[in-house]
Amino acid sequence: MFSYRHAFHAGNHADVLKHMVLIQLLQHLNQKDTPYMVIDTHAGAGTYLLDGEYATKSGEADSGIGQLWESQDTPEIVTDYLDQIRELNPSGRLRHYPGSPFLAEHIMREQDRLRLFEMHPTDVRQLQENFRKLISHKVANGVELPARGKRVMIQRADGYAGLKALLPPPSRRALVLIDPSYEDKDDYRKVRVAVDEAQKRFATGTYAVWYPALARLEAQQLPERLKRCAASDWLHVVLSIGGYAEGQGLHSSGMFVINPPWTLKAKLEQALPWLANLLGHGNGSFLVQSGTAARAPKERSA
Ligand SMILES: C[S@@+](CC[C@H](N)C(=O)[O-])C[C@H]1O[C@@H](n2cnc3c(N)ncnc32)[C@H](O)[C@@H]1O
């Protein structure tokens, strides 16, 4: 239990896909003034050092952000993603990689709320420390923090149980990111049950689930099960960088989004061919599908 550390994987091709989609979901929520809540059920450490011990040992960022960093003339949503990473690396040297909690904190407004769950004792301590440093930095730079209510809350607790307790959110607007490590194969079942129960409490929320697109049966079945339990529109995107035999590391991952912004599918269809070609060195592929709870899915693939 708890052998997974996201620091080994930060900035890899799977993080690129997940964080690129996450940024689009957050920027879409910012289009209305009404406050929203972001719930990150599996938060990790918040931010990572790409020249730190774990990242240099694995070299995984080379399959993702490392390939993109110097790119020019990128598709719109890749540019939005790179802009976020560049803001965290103002010197121009790629050193810091933001996890989902730091991306959410950076994009959401003063009136919005971020609720983070992390179970790993070391990662939750790092998450707290990373946010403490971020808030001290903001205060030192004259940023005014909300007078009432905590903008960011971090709990060392089970994210599936934590999610249940937070829904429906007071403002009736929320984005839920469910991003387990799937170290425990029961995560595939827990994700589906969590989405099912969450929609019963709060059907209009946006739910984003990341998963590893592995050959194992549970991974193959997850998107099909999510399609069946989706109570409204859904979007499914898979990015494969190809080139590796099964068992030699993750080469394909997916994001399943319930209640996505209606503009997102076209943006993904524009970006994914470019991204799959670059990250896959000519062997990459992708899938972008959408559907509604009532209608048959519309599909497009490479
Ligand atoms: C894939 S990582 C999260 C990465 C993060 N969302 C990001 O994009 O930067 C999954 C994390 O979930 C944590 N975790 C595992 N089981 C959990 C649970 N039941 N509740 C909350 N966190 C859990 C792991 O310790 C790990 O740090």
Here the CATH number for the domain that contains residue 180 is 3.40.50.150
Buried b (16+ CB within 10 A) or exposed e, 183-222: eeeebbebbbebbeebbeebeebbbbbbbbbbeeebbeeb
Token couple for 20: 């690129």
Residue 1 covered by a domain: no
Query: Which is more confident, 151 or 147?
Result: 151
Q: Give the 3-state secondary structure of residue 226.
A: helix
State the helix-helix crossing angle for 76-87 and 13-29, rounded to 10 degrees.
100
> DSSP characters for 184-197?
STHHHHHHHHHHHH
Instruction: Look at the chain and report how many structural domains it folds into.
Output: 1
Q: Tell me the C-alpha distance between 169 and 126, whole Å.
A: 27
Which residues are tagged catalytic? Answer: 179
123-146 confidence digits (pLDDT tens): 999 999 999 999 888 888 887 776
CA atoms within 13 A on the CB side of 206: 25
Residue 169 covered by a domain: yes
Give CA separation, 16 vs 181, 241, 261, 294, in Å.
16, 12, 19, 31
Determine which residue's CA is closest to atom 9 belonging to ligand 1.
Answer: 99
226-235 confidence digits (pLDDT tens): 999 999 999 9
Pick the atom of ligand 1 nearest to 177's CA. Answer: 6
Q: What is the pTM of this model?
A: 0.94
Domain range spanning residue 273?
6-301
User: 123 C-alpha to center of ligand 1: Å?
Assistant: 9
Amino acid at 23: I
Buried b (16+ CB within 10 A) or exposed e, 157-178: eebbebbeebbebeeebbbbbb
- Name residues contacting ligand 1 (CB within 6 A): 4, 6, 18, 40-44, 99-100, 117-120, 123, 158-160, 179-181
Q: Which of 204, 127, 193, 184 is nearest to 164 (CA)?
A: 193
Q: Give the 3-state secondary structure of residue 299.
A: strand
83-125 confidence digits (pLDDT tens): 999 999 999 999 999 999 999 999 999 999 999 999 999 999 9
20: number of Cβ within 10 Å: 25
164-197 confidence digits (pLDDT tens): 999 999 999 999 999 999 999 999 999 999 999 9
**Do residues 252 and 291 make contact, with C-beta atoms less than 8 angstroms apart?**
no
